[in-house]
Chains A and B, each alone.
Chain A
Amino acid sequence: MEFILVLLAPLIAAFISFIARTKRSLIIEIVTVCATVFELSIALLFSWRVANDGTITQASLLTLDSLGALCICVVALIGCVVAIYSVGYLREEMKRGIIGMRRIRQFYIFFHLLLFSMFAAILTTHPIFIWIAIEATTLSTVFLISFYGKPQSVEAAWKFFIINSVALLFGFFGTLLFLATPAVFEGTWFFAKGAVVDPMLLKIAFLLVFIGYGTKTGFAPLHTWLPDAHGMAPAPISSMLSATLLNVSFFALLRFKALIDPVIGAGFSQTLFLVFGTASIIVAALLIFCQHNYKRLLAYSSIEHMGIMALGFGAGGAGIGAALLHMIYHALTKSLLFLSSGNMLLKYGTAKIVAIKGMGAVLPLTSVLFFAGLLSIMAMPPFGMFFTEFSILSVLIFSHPGIAGLTISALAFIFIGVMKHFSSMMSGVPPGHVPCGEKNGFTTIPLFALVLMLAVLSVGIPPVLQVLLSRASELFLSL
């Protein structure tokens, strides 16, 4: 019954945002922050229970296991941080006349609906319900991407809409094929011992599901919607897309992997993860280097990191635990970077790298936090991503040395590209029309909180998280 609370909270908040016809956004902001804090509290409480008591099943269709607990915590945490940041960000945009009260209401309605659909996708184990929930994320996100109503935002939203819809139909097709197999459902799906299954059918089904959810995850070459959507959406939404939505789609893919691997062996899914993972890292490396827009640069970085996570699952063994931990570090770091990019956008009014000069003087605090985020995203020690990438590459070097070599080269290329762009943004004299100083507490405190969490988790992992990580890894290792 308690799971319903997690699903109801965003729905109620969306409804209140819809009916609140005030001239000021205060009521909606209070409701939004309270709802996301509540969702985070419930998510943490459930995760603690899962760590102690194991998988929780309620109302037969709602299940939270260790993998789901990790994912729901990430979504609820980022949702809460983004909600607080959005208050300051949207107030500033409203003050400048970029948006009006109608847009703010629209933002919060779809923000809560996005959270609802992601929670639903995580909490259900029925493949069709997962599909419906993931499709619902597309519908709730699309109007957040076209939020500013400019031609380019509409173009980005249309691409997102049509590409993901077609891809998710492949996912639907794969899901139907999977349901045609003799899999049984008892809280979770599994194949009974002795069940006769056509391995080729399962491979086709998984391939279709991989195309469906892999497109939404942003694996190259299925990624074409991602840079446009991340680039054109408001900064808080780019942060949500990158840090939560991609993870939820990846999570849906993992649900199927855990199901088919015991029947047809892990080799097939591992090969797919390795191929798409490597392609994603290489494509991201090439496009990061020649990027002109810092939001798109961060979007390509998300493709790169989804690729790294895929390599972890492709490598197997210790790579799986590292990939799961990488998901957490990436979510924290990428939301930090996108929210920092929001501060830059508010200040300079452009996302063009060439137009950002003297950032250190204009946004001293944001610059430091942004740099910390960049170091983390490039896996520099002592940030946790260094250890996760190192673990994944260590496994890969022995199992697939060629892929490991390619990945290391691409990562080096990305490092050079990112540093080139960052130094260009830090150097030079700020444009005359840009005043110095941070905007407000709402747009800086969440960044501090993210850096703090990143630092704490890089130094040591709390015991509860360790338990969840090891149990989630066992889902794939025991195959």
Chain B
Amino acid sequence: MSLSDTTQLFLLFALCIFFSTAFLHLIKRRGTLVIAYSFQSLIIILLLGVIGTIEHAQSLLVAAVLTFVAKVIFVPFIFMRAIKEQDEKMLTGAYLNTPLTLVAIFAIVLLASAQIFTPIVRLVPYGTATANLALASVFVSLFLTINRKGMVHQIVGVLSMENSIVVLGALIGFENTFALELGMTFDVLMWTVGASVFIALAREHFGTLDTSIIKDLRD
């Protein structure tokens, strides 16, 4: 595969990841959100597999397998169990409405293209646009955690941010040992279990998953 083809392919992947991240902002139902997250993870697994094959990086292939087990099978399973049917009726909103959210996402894309991030963009050998989109995905995921009031949306925002950082790391050419990959995957799994416990606790104590009403502790 020529360099130009590879660059085009990775740009396509970066676009898919960016749009899947931006799409998370538009989803209201929690179940759909978790499925969308799995879809985003699936794109990342494909990307890791492709980079691993092109660069002959076995660690990335291992990462792809571990990511599949963790993020496509385990994480959705845990969250689908944690989200009960009645939760779906208690839909939570966002601090910004949909048009303003889209404007904010546009502003974030512009921010990710700013001069200050040039040292990061330069690390990615597959073109500036690919790097900018991957960086924008990190910020758009962070924005999901900040903008949405729902606990599940915030949790998925954090997981999506982690996905986006992994993508950027893979595009930079960062490789881990098997032990580190295993450690990071284990960490994501434990984090997911912890997050699902919080979903149950919040439902039990507050009767809602809307974090905007949980504000007893103030000075």
- Chain A interfacial positions (CB closer than 8 Å to B): 126, 128-129, 132, 135-136, 139, 142-143, 146, 149-152, 154-159, 161-162, 165-166, 169, 172-173, 176-177, 179-180, 198, 200-201, 204, 227-228, 231-232, 287, 290-291, 296
Contacts and interface: CB of A to CB of B under 8 A. Distances in A.
30 contacts: A128-B183, A128-B184, A129-B183, A132-B180, A132-B183, A132-B187, A139-B187, A142-B194, A143-B194, A154-B201, A155-B217, A157-B201, A158-B151, A158-B198, A158-B202, A159-B217, A161-B194, A161-B195, A162-B145, A162-B158, A166-B158, A169-B158, A180-B123, A180-B173, A201-B119, A201-B120, A201-B122, A201-B123, A204-B119, A291-B219
Given A161-B194, A166-B142, A179-B174, 6 more contacts: A128-B180, A132-B183, A151-B214, A176-B165, A198-B119, A204-B119
Nearest to B135: A173
B162 interface: yes
The 5 closest A-B pairs by CB, nearest first: A201-B119, A151-B205, A176-B169, A228-B217, A200-B119
Nearest to B154: A162
Contacts of A231: 217
A204 B202 CA distance: 36
Interface in B125-169: 138, 142, 145, 151, 154-155, 158, 161-162, 165, 168-169
B13 to A, nearest CB: 18
A126 B179 CA distance: 12
B218 to A, nearest CB: 9
The binding surface of chain A is classed by DSSP as helix
Contacts, number: 106
B131 to A, nearest CB: 12
Contacts of A159: 217
Contacts of A128: 176, 180, 183-184
A165 B183 contact: no
B180 A135 contact: no
B190 interface: yes
Contact of B205 (A154, A165, A227): A154
A169 to B, nearest CB: 5
Interface of B: 116-120, 122-123, 138, 142, 145, 151, 154-155, 158, 161-162, 165, 168-169, 172-174, 176, 180, 183-184, 187, 190-191, 194-195, 197-198, 201-202, 205-206, 211, 214-217, 219
A311 B61 CA distance: 45
Q: Which of A180, A228, A231 has the most CB of B within 10 A?
A: A180
A143 B190 CA distance: 12
A83 B155 CA distance: 33
A296 B219 CA distance: 9
A402 B206 CA distance: 47
Given A129-B180, A169-B165, A200-B119, A139 B202 contact: no
Nearest to B145: A166
A139 B217 contact: no
Given A157-B198, A165-B158, A176-B168, A139 B191 contact: yes
Contacts of A179: 174
Contacts of A151: 205-206, 214, 216
Given A166-B161, A198-B119, A155 B180 contact: no
A180 B172 contact: yes
Given A129-B183, A180-B174, A291-B219, A173 B138 contact: yes
A316 B216 CA distance: 41
Nearest to A177: B120
